[in-house]
Structure 1
Amino acid sequence: MGSSVPMERLTPLHRAAVLMMLFGERAAAAVLRNLSPAEVQNLGAAMYSINDVDQLTLEHVVEEFLIGLNRETGLNHGAPVYIRSVMTEALGEDKAQSVISRINPSSAERPIEILDWMDARSIAELIIDEHPQIIALVIACLDYSLAADVLMLLPEEVQPDIIRRIADLSSIQPEALHDLEQVMQRKFKASSTSRASQIGGVKAAARIMNFTRTAMEQRIMREVKKEDRDLMQAIMDNMFVFDNLEQSDDRSLQTLLRSVDNEQLVLALKGAGESLRDKLLGCMSSRAAANLRDEMEALGPVRLTDVQEAQKAIVATARKLSDEGAIVLAGRGGEQMV
């Protein structure tokens, strides 16, 4: 972060990290115990990156926290029941459970949650010798970005088959889940619910593909197309791509832009259509937009692959923020992505 970081340069994550450093060990540990594995990792990394924050910024962070706390006080009682009721009414039972399982991990009915605490390489080494169907089941249980990292570490020749199998999944019945647990128990101790667990499906396969690199995505889609053209098209139709950002609301885009690396944004916009470029620049201050346009012009010609990778990285950030409930994304045709 550098020395004497001003308030406006602190992302919400870094503001949370500042608070954690002020809380003291016991209070900070209590907070961490209530976070998901991904949240613990992200917050921990942010805490490490906080080198020096001036007194005025500290005061602003604390003031902002207290204002938010005061606003929330008294509203949390019965919130889980209320949220589930509203989500179910708005989205239906299946979609509601999918959303709730993402924003409240403790409510998720899913197996082998201990995998969330392992890194991608450890998981890949754990499952690489298993049957492709077992590999697909395990990967489908992971957070989408982690699943993409694990998929990338598997042999290239098996990756398309794994994506096809994930896309063909709908739910794991108790007996199948029991078989999965038996395989995993040979390598670590874990327990999970015996109820049917909704994982996998075309949308899950698409979400995983959103987090892969462009070359890997194109290669896998080519192989899937050879076996099943309709399945390939279904996966592609459910993927969130950079151009879809144009249908998202300004507030969500503003939140996204604060979380995106400026160099990535310059590259991504070099290959964007004029309307999308204007939409994103319109979500910035006039000064920031002018500076970005100057950087784009100064950059000159760039390789298409560099543009694609930058757009992929921004899409991955958008999906993470969406999964965390920080933004709302609109997909193809303007429909909300859930």
Structure 2
Amino acid sequence: MNAITPRSPLGQLARPGHSRPVLSRRQKAAIIVRLLSAEGQKLPLMELSDDQQTQLAESIAQMRLIDRETLHEVVEEFCAELEAVGLAFPGGLDGALKLLDGQLSASAATRIRRMASGTSRADPWERVTGLSADLLLPVLMEESIEVGAVMLSKLSVSKSAELLGKMPSDRARRLTYAVSLTGNVAPETVQRIGAALADQLDAAPVKAFDTGPVERVGAILNFSPAVTRDSVLKGLEEDDKEFAEQVRKAIFTFTNIYARIEPRDIPKILRAVDQTRLILALAGSKGDNAKSAEFILANMSQRMAQNLRDEMKNLGKVKEKDVEEAMNEIVTAIRDLESRGEIFLVAEETE
């Protein structure tokens, strides 16, 4: 910014015969900060270095009164500099990560976080609190009670409650009591704990798959032909009976509807399914699938059920392949409703 000569020495209003001294950029910055603060603007001054924050505070403390003409000139010069900016970058690796969030691979993002951890002035708790409860739970279980109490104090109330609900009651009780003792923990200590936790979480190896092997195999077999599914499960039982049992529980097919869907959820499912595909699936149901077909028909209005039965009779003979595809579409609709939290699958009873 060009030098500006005020009407009077800093701290005084203009008097006739006095020359106007030159304002430094730091003093001009103090004027802008004071003006914006008076307008109720919240400035991100914490993004400045500690030295810059201290120098700005000192400049504000030394200044008293600025005449209106000088204020207008400083504001005009500040606006001119802003208008001259064509493009601004966030600055630092933390800013780059926020800018590219969702566009980097997991491995690249982790590598950049590790690079940034040693030099960043950003709050490490922003990284920790932004993670899911599933990622935070193992850390909370392994860390000391004291560190866990600090962690719970920094997380949102809802996420802390979710974490407490996923751990043994004894540890949950000890952690909640320890939270009551965190009142005198120094801010520097909280910051160091946050940095250590962020480093620990970033050091965890990136998983190649979003879901575990049981869920992946179960999802594949969900949409496999029944003959293939039964054959694979039989082979899995011979190789690893425990894994096969877990996969069976993860599988949800048309056959499972009558046992794992609440009767009150049938209307929601019917609204999410094309009626012609529903009629085809119901018409071709036989064997174990017939129970699910009757379950669906029994949990709708009698008039609608009768209309569907009439449509099923008019279809005549249907191809098994077409029936299986229609059933898979119904299963997909159910899974979509479940993922959105609109319905919940009933857990299978363990024999």
- TM-score for both structures, normalised by structure 2: 0.37
Which of the pair has more CA radius of gyration?
Answer: 2
Greater fraction of residues in helix: 1
- TM-score for both structures, normalised by structure 1: 0.38
Question: Which fold has the larger relative contact order, with Cα–Cα distance below 8 Å and residues 6 or more apart in sequence?
Answer: 1
